[in-house]
């Protein structure tokens, strides 16, 4: 807080927020943005549900393609990254910058493993004759899951940026909320995947 | 808030050499046009929104005149069928996305922070980005005129008519990518303005003490926040279909055109309300001033607005009664549409009741407001008849619909905006618009408007179709079309008169006394501060005790309820004189640079791939630079006296800077993935030691 009496800034570990809601502007902004993202994914998930099956004779359908054990494993990897993200936030709140960096790297790696799994899956489907333009199902499938993959990738870039900042010493404890806000985004992307996994892969 | 003063330490200490990422010094602003490019001041951004929207309004207006000139007589030859398609598509797109929405944003940006007693919006740089992205998207769409022709599928761009097969030119690509860019602008703007309303109100300003315009801004921005992404999703499908051969709307592969209709109107109907609600807000603030009565049923006005915001999500399929959606859907959406007329009716009733028994002065802002109430009522009544599905199936795609939505959008929204312009002009620019010209402007616009769109009711009932470039003689269309065309030119002359009035009054104002802070004897907080608004808005920030707080600083009531003046206006308004050491957020280059990259990506997607890379790098680089630039200029605006810290619950200026320093998060999440918005100077050397 700036203290006019002292004329210098008094650092606090958890900045208090003099906002009407008590939530900082940035965090509230992120919540609102994520609310908006729900509708974006809602539109794409709806599209997938409408186009779940290709027309007769237009390439393979979901029941011939999906490898549910494989995708379950990569989904598990992505969900575990939420755990490491929580640990990263908790580390910086305790001022443990070494652990912060470790957990950020772990989260980014798990996220990358998920994206790698998606790339592998796409390649396998492509080899089985499912191009992006093959059928309405293929467009909807690649569109929805690819869109989610881009979101994970953006999250990884954010995590790496945090890591870089932390290494440069520009992520002190009193900025821990920045990590928390990236965490919000990350958890949201994970949560959306649970829906996508259920809707696309599990519900027949 | 800990951040805000670190620049002071740095400037006296090791300077920028110790922070290699912090090399991006922030611009200092200064006078002249450059200050507009780097500004983060919500007032300048609001003015730029308004100016850009009026420029687009002239473009859209010329397109309207071309349509009316083409329809002057049967078998018109001014435009070919193809050109006519482009002109009416671009007219609709321009008026909706580049005129009515941004004028709403202009008022929201300029007024809302003033009405809640804030220094700026929550994220000043994101605010600048929103404006530049809107402008970039608008210019991008209109550049299609020089690059192969405009979009030709109607502003709703129904599939499969929008696919490459049926529209091989690049017009629809320009439409699609341009609106994706303005969508980013709307989304970031919505996040920004909602956070501002929820978090940055002056001490004592609870939600139910906010002026109605601020409430309507909040509802509008929530509608944007949730409606825009649905359009974005639909536009992604269209983008993939047109540019990457996807099968979303390819009927031969089972693509369903109805999907586009649903997605578009799930966006499109909230869109209708988010266009009209800002004008409703303006009217609700202007009417009480010129009736010298408080708004009748403040709570009802507010909650009917909120109700419209909710119910607006449940009526979209009334645009699709002839699309074959089935009897159950038709029934449900018919009923929902009838119900949504109720909160709208509540507002009309409240405005009327506000005027009843008031001391009405018919100034030009008031005339425009009354114009809104009457014209919107006509448009609303013709609208509610569309909820009766059998009637709608007769009227759909005829000029009756054209008449209806122009009565609500021009007669409603635009009349409200005109009232807002006349009312707020002295606050924004420091001089009053000429009243005589203002009244002439109103009557000319009123007559021109009714002459243009009134006959369209008749044409529609006679069966004249929309979107057809000509008509044959002998159906009884000639007379009414001539009338409408004459009306359109009268309407255009009223706009010319408005623009003339702006310059005329500015010249005349030099010999007139200054209007002062409160020329209309108004009720809301923005009239408490000098005109034009000083850069820092309020100094000190007021503490609010009730609705229409400023009014009750001037007036009290006797025991029998009569109004008595308790203080002279000069005693309760703030003065621009004296020293005002208020810490304001520093200007920045990066919002502009980040926005410039977006249309370059758009051109890349249409013409050649490597432009995408360049545009993407510009935007991504700008977002990183944005996140890493110093939060603040150490020398700017730092006086000794921070004597204006609000008591509690408000956002002192320190918060502004802090919030904005983290703004990279919101922008980064736009899919560019800039980092999490830690800004450049967060750490001093001492801290580096402890963490490193």
Task: Say which of B230, B237, B674 has its CB closest to residue A39.
Answer: B230
C-alpha–C-alpha distance, residues A67 and B224, integer Å? 39
Domain assignment of residue A189, yes or no = yes
Question: Is 50 exceeded by the pLDDT of residue B682?
Answer: no
* B663 contacts on A by Cβ (under 8 Å): 26
pLDDT band at B405 (very low <50, low <70, confident <90, very high): very high
Are A1 and B2 an interchain contact pair (Cβ–Cβ within 8 Å)? yes
Domain assignment of residue A167, yes or no = yes
The model's pLDDT over B378-404, given as tens digits with 9 standing for 90+, comes to 999 999 999 999 999 999 999 999 999
Task: Say which of B247, B676, B682 has its CB closest to residue A182.
Answer: B676
pLDDT at B662: 39
Structure tokens at B596: 């410039």
* A19 contacts on B by Cβ (under 8 Å): 198-200, 651, 655
* A94 contacts on B by Cβ (under 8 Å): none
The model's pLDDT over B315-339, given as tens digits with 9 standing for 90+, comes to 999 999 999 899 999 999 999 999 9
Are B226 and A39 an interchain contact pair (Cβ–Cβ within 8 Å)? yes
Task: Say which of A8, A29, A41 has its CB closest to residue B666.
Answer: A29
Query: In angstroms, what separates the C-alpha of B54 from chain A's closest C-alpha?
Result: 29
Mean pLDDT along residues A94-117: 97
Structure tokens at B326: 């089935």
Question: Is 70 exceeded by the pLDDT of residue A11?
Answer: no
Task: Say which of A24, A36, A170 has its CB closest to residue B226.
Answer: A36
pLDDT at A123: 97
Q: Which residues pair with B302 in a beta bridge?
A: none
pLDDT band at B28 (very low <50, low <70, confident <90, very high): low
Question: Taking CA atoms, what residue in B is nearest to A170?
Answer: B683
Domain assignment of residue A57, yes or no = yes
Quickly tell me which residue has 């009026």 as its tokens: B54
pLDDT at B622: 95
Domain assignment of residue A1, yes or no = no
Contact A82, A187 (CB under 8 A): yes
pLDDT at A17: 56
* A41 contacts on B by Cβ (under 8 Å): 233
Structure tokens at B155: 């502003």
CA distances from residue B532 to B217, B432, B519 in whole angstroms, order as listed: 22, 11, 12
* A151 contacts on B by Cβ (under 8 Å): 671
Question: Is 70 exceeded by the pLDDT of residue A12?
Answer: no
C-alpha–C-alpha distance, residues B221 and B105, integer Å? 9
- List alpha helices for B320-432, DSSP H: 327-355, 364-385, 389-395, 399-408, 415-429
pLDDT at B650: 35
Are A15 and B650 an interchain contact pair (Cβ–Cβ within 8 Å)? no
| DSSP code at position B342 | H
What is the phi/psi pair of residue B556, to 5°?
A: -125, 180
pLDDT at B559: 86
C-alpha–C-alpha distance, residues B232 and B241, integer Å? 14
The model's pLDDT over A56-68, given as tens digits with 9 standing for 90+, comes to 889 999 989 999 9
Mean pLDDT along residues A31-51: 97
pLDDT band at B153 (very low <50, low <70, confident <90, very high): very high
Contacts of B607 (CB under 8 A, 6+ apart): none
Domain assignment of residue A141, yes or no = yes
Mean pLDDT along residues A74-90: 97
pLDDT at B631: 66
pLDDT band at B632 (very low <50, low <70, confident <90, very high): low
Residues of A (77-106) whose Cβ lies below 8 Å from B: 97
Contact B572, B548 (CB under 8 A): no
Domain that holds residue A105: 36-202
Query: In angstroms, what separates the C-alpha of A135 from chain B's closest C-alpha?
Result: 6
* A174 contacts on B by Cβ (under 8 Å): 2
Contact B126, B194 (CB under 8 A): no
* B1 contacts on A by Cβ (under 8 Å): 1-2, 15-16, 18
Question: Taking CA atoms, what residue in B is nearest to A167?
Answer: B692
pLDDT band at B32 (very low <50, low <70, confident <90, very high): confident
Are B687 and A29 an interchain contact pair (Cβ–Cβ within 8 Å)? no
Average pLDDT, chain B: 87
Query: In angstroms, what separates the C-alpha of A29 from chain B's closest C-alpha?
Result: 6
Chain A, chain B: beta-carbon pairs less than 8 Å apart: 235
Contacts of B311 (CB under 8 A, 6+ apart): B336, B339, B340, B343
CATH code of A152's domain:
1.20.120.80
C-alpha–C-alpha distance, residues B165 and B175, integer Å? 17
Residues of A (23-62) whose Cβ lies below 8 Å from B: 23-26, 28-30, 32-33, 35-44, 46-47, 50-51, 54-55, 58
**Number of domains making up chain A:** 1
Indicate the pTM of the whole model: 0.89
* A30 contacts on B by Cβ (under 8 Å): 665-666, 669
Domain assignment of residue A3, yes or no = no
Question: Is 60 exceeded by the pLDDT of residue B681?
Answer: no
Q: Which residues pair with B110 in a beta bridge?
A: none
Query: In angstroms, what separates the C-alpha of A3 from chain B's closest C-alpha?
Result: 10
The model's pLDDT over B208-237, given as tens digits with 9 standing for 90+, comes to 999 999 999 999 999 999 999 999 999 999
Contact B594, B185 (CB under 8 A): no
pLDDT band at B585 (very low <50, low <70, confident <90, very high): confident
Domain extents in chain B: 3-31+585-691, 525-572
**CB contact, 8 Å: A5 with chain B?**
no
Question: Is 50 exceeded by the pLDDT of residue B692?
Answer: no
* B226 contacts on A by Cβ (under 8 Å): 35-36, 39
Residues of A (156-195) whose Cβ lies below 8 Å from B: 157-158, 161-162, 164-166, 168-172, 174-175, 177-179, 181-182, 185
**CB contact, 8 Å: A134 with chain B?**
yes
The model's pLDDT over B277-307, given as tens digits with 9 standing for 90+, comes to 999 999 999 999 999 999 999 999 999 999 9
Question: Taking CA atoms, what residue in B is nearest to A41?
Answer: B233
Higher pLDDT among residues A17 and B126, named by residue:
B126
Are A154 and B237 an interchain contact pair (Cβ–Cβ within 8 Å)? no
C-alpha–C-alpha distance, residues B158 and B245, integer Å? 17
Contact B255, B249 (CB under 8 A): yes
Are A20 and B668 an interchain contact pair (Cβ–Cβ within 8 Å)? no
C-alpha–C-alpha distance, residues B250 and B511, integer Å? 66
Are A133 and B247 an interchain contact pair (Cβ–Cβ within 8 Å)? yes
C-alpha–C-alpha distance, residues B608 and B173, integer Å? 13
Mean pLDDT along residues B575-584: 82
Domain assignment of residue A31, yes or no = no
C-alpha–C-alpha distance, residues B118 and B42, integer Å? 11
Tally of CA atoms within 13 A in the half-sphere of B98 that contains its CB:
31
Is B211 strand, coil or helix?
Answer: coil
Are A54 and B191 an interchain contact pair (Cβ–Cβ within 8 Å)? no
Query: In angstroms, what separates the C-alpha of B200 from chain A's closest C-alpha?
Result: 6
C-alpha–C-alpha distance, residues B128 and B24, integer Å? 18
Question: Is 70 exceeded by the pLDDT of residue B441?
Answer: yes
Is B385 strand, coil or helix?
Answer: helix
pLDDT band at B429 (very low <50, low <70, confident <90, very high): very high
Question: Is 50 exceeded by the pLDDT of residue B607?
Answer: yes
Higher pLDDT among residues B513 and A12, named by residue:
B513
pLDDT at B561: 79
pLDDT above 90: percentage of residues in chain B: 81
pLDDT at B27: 74
Mean pLDDT along residues B81-103: 97
């Amino acid at each position: 807080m700036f203290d006019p009496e002292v004329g210098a800034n008094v650092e606090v570990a958890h900045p208090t927020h003099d906002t009407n809601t008590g939530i900082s502007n940035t965090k509230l902004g992120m919540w609102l943005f994520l609310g908006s993202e729900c509708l974006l994914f809602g539109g794409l998930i709806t599209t997938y549900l409408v186009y779940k099956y290709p027309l007769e004779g237009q390439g393979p359908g979901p029941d011939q393609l999906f490898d549910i054990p494989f995708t379950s494993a990569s989904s598990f990897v992505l969900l575990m990254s939420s755990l490491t993200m929580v640990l990263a936030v908790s580390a910086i709140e305790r001022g443990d910058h070494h652990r912060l960096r470790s957990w950020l790297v772990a989260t980014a790696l798990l996220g990358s493993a998920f994206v790698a799994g998606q790339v592998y899956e796409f390649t396998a489907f492509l080899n089985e004759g499912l191009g992006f333009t093959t059928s309405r199902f293929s467009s909807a499938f690649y569109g929805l899951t690819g869109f989610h993959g881009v979101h994970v990738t953006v999250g990884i870039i954010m995590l790496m940026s945090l890591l870089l900042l932390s290494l440069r010493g520009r992520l002190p404890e009193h900025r821990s909320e920045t990590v928390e806000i990236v965490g919000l985004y990350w958890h949201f992307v994970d949560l959306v995947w649970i829906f996508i996994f259920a809707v696309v892969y599990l519900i027949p | 808030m800990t951040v805000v003063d670190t620049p002071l330490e740095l400037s006296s200490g090791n300077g920028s050499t110790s922070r290699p990422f912090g090399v991006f010094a922030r611009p200092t602003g200064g006078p002249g046009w450059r200050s507009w490019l780097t500004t983060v001041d919500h007032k300048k951004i609001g003015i730029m929104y308004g100016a850009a929207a009026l420029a687009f309004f002239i473009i859209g207006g010329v397109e309207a005149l071309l349509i009316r000139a083409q329809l002057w007589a049967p078998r018109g030859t001014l435009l070919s069928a193809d050109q006519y398609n482009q002109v009416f598509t671009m007219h609709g797109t321009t008026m909706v996305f580049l005129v009515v929405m941004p004028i709403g944003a202009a008022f929201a940006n300029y007024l809302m922070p003033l009405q809640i007693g804030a220094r700026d919006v929550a994220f000043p740089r994101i605010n600048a980005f929103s404006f530049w992205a809107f402008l970039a998207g608008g210019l991008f769409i209109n550049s299609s005129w020089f690059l192969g022709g405009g979009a030709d599928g109607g502003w709703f761009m129904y599939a499969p008519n929008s696919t490459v097969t049926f529209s091989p030119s690049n017009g629809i690509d320009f439409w699609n990518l341009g609106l994706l860019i303005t969508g980013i602008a709307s989304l970031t703007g919505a996040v920004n303005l909602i956070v501002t309303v929820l978090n940055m109100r002056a001490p004592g300003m609870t939600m139910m003490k906010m002026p109605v315009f601020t409430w309507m801004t909040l509802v509008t921005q929530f509608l944007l926040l949730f409606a825009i992404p649905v359009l974005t999703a639909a536009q992604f499908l269209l983008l993939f279909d047109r540019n990457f051969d996807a099968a979303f709307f390819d009927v031969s592969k089972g693509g369903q055109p109805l999907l586009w209709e649903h997605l578009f109107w799930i966006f499109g109907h909230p869109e209708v309300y988010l266009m009209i609600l800002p004008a409703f807000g303006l009217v609700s603030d202007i009417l009480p001033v010129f009736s010298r009565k408080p708004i009748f049923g403040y709570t009802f006005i507010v909650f009917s607005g909120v109700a419209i915001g909710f119910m607006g999500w449940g009526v979209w399929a009334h645009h699709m009664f002839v699309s074959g959606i089935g009897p159950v859907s038709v029934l449900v959406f018919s009923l929902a549409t009838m119900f949504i007329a109720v909160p709208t009716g509540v507002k009309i009733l409240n405005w009327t009741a506000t005027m009843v028994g008031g001391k009405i002065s018919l100034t030009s802002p008031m005339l425009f407001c009354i114009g809104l109430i009457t014209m919107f009522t006509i448009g609303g009544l013709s609208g509610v008849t569309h909820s009766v599905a059998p009637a709608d199936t007769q009227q759909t795609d005829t000029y009756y619909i054209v008449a209806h939505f122009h009565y609500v959008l021009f007669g409603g929204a635009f009349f409200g905006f005109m009232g807002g312009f006349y009312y707020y002009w002295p606050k924004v620019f420091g001089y009053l618009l000429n009243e005589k010209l203002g009244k002439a402007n109103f009557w000319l616009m009123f007559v021109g408007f009714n002459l243009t769109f009134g006959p369209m009711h008749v044409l529609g009932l006679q069966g004249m179709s929309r979107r057809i470039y000509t008509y044959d003689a002998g159906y009884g269309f000639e007379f009414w079309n001539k009338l409408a065309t004459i009306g359109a030119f009268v309407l255009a002359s009223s706009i010319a008169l408005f623009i003339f009035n702006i310059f005329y009054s500015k010249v005349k104002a030099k010999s007139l006394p200054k209007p002062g802070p409160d020329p209309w004897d108004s009720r809301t907080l923005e009239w408490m501060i000098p005109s034009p608004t000083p850069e820092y808005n309020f100094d000190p920030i007021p503490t609010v005790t009730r609705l229409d707080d400023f009014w009750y600083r001037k007036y009290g009531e006797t025991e029998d309820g009569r109004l008595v003046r308790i203080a002279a206006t000069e005693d309760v308004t703030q003065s621009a004189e004296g020293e005002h050491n208020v810490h304001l957020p520093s200007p920045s280059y990066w919002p502009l640079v980040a926005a410039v990259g977006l249309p370059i990506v758009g051109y890349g997607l249409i013409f050649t791939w490597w432009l995408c890379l360049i545009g993407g790098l510009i935007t991504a680089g700008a977002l990183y630079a944005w996140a890493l630039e110093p939060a603040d200029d150490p020398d700017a605006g730092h006086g000794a006296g921070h004597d204006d810290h609000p008591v509690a619950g408000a956002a002192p200026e320190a918060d502004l800077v802090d919030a904005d320093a983290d703004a990279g998060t919101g922008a980064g999440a736009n899919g560019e993935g800039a980092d999490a918005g830690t800004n450049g100077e967060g750490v001093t050397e001492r801290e580096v030691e402890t963490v490193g």
